[in-house]
Amino acid sequence: MLIYSYVSTKGGCFMKFFKSIFLCLIFSSIPITAFAATATIDNDTNLGSPYYNKPYGFSTPNYTANGWQYRKAGFNGDSRLLPSGKANKNYNWTIQKRYSTVTIQAYLNDSKFTDKRAEYSVMTNNNKYSYTILKNINQHLAPGGWNTIRKLNINGSLSLELTSSGSGNTGADGIKIVY
């Protein structure tokens, strides 16, 4: 009786050990996905929101400021377009929240967006203002949808700026901050 009990206990321990190893192997092969929070800012976000934007100082949806034209197409059904040949015109999105590490993305999904060197830059307020060029994007060849501009560390508010190169129609639409 004692021998049977001993073998049974040993077998049980072996089975528990085997099951543990088996489960570890199964679960270690499942990718772990980290979920990040996002802030999406469209052209016409309310000024009362902590996420607002302005096309070079203006926020009225149909206002043509500095040549930017309202389009009824794009993310959330609207976007802005600056016709070709108008270089160094800016479109700004301002984010008042404070983050640490963020990934900035721009929504590009319009065949009218053809600027070959659209410049995305950021002004941050990390207790002092700093201006950094993040990336030039060929809007004509960019894949449709969200395009990553850059990942960076921020300790304050930020203003994302799109500057036209004049080498095609420059498009401004939604942006996304992943933090």
Count the helices and strands in the chain (H runs, E runs).
Answer: 1, 12
Q: What is the mean pLDDT of residues 157-173?
A: 90
* Residue 125 pLDDT greater than 80, yes or no: no
pLDDT of 59 reads 37
Q: How confident is the model at residue 144 (pLDDT cuts 50, 70, 90)?
A: very high
3-state SS class at 152: strand
71-91, pLDDT tens digit by residue?
A: 888 888 888 999 999 999 888
* Residue 117 pLDDT greater than 80, yes or no: yes
Choose between 15 and 88: higher pLDDT: 88
pLDDT of 98 reads 67
Choose between 62 and 159: higher pLDDT: 159
For residue 152, give the nearest of 174, 121, 129 by alpha carbon: 121
pLDDT of 24 reads 54
Task: State the CATH class of domain 38-178.
Answer: mainly beta
Q: How confident is the model at residue 147 (pLDDT cuts 50, 70, 90)?
A: very high
pLDDT of 103 reads 92
pLDDT of 138 reads 98
Domain boundaries, the chain: 1-33, 38-178
Q: How confident is the model at residue 18 (pLDDT cuts 50, 70, 90)?
A: low
SS3 content of the chain, % helix, strand, coil (to 5): 15, 40, 45
* Residue 31 pLDDT greater than 80, yes or no: no
3-state SS class at 107: strand
For residue 81, give the nearest of 96, 101, 59, 66 by alpha carbon: 66
Q: What is the mean pLDDT of the chain?
A: 75
pTM of the model: 0.71
**Two structure tokens written together for 62:** 């149909």
Is residue 7 within a helix (H) or strand (E), and if so which, with residue range?
Answer: helix 2-28
DSSP string, 19-83: HHHHHHHHHHTSPPPPP--EEEE-TT--TTSSEEEESTT---TT---TT-EEES-SGGG-EEEE-
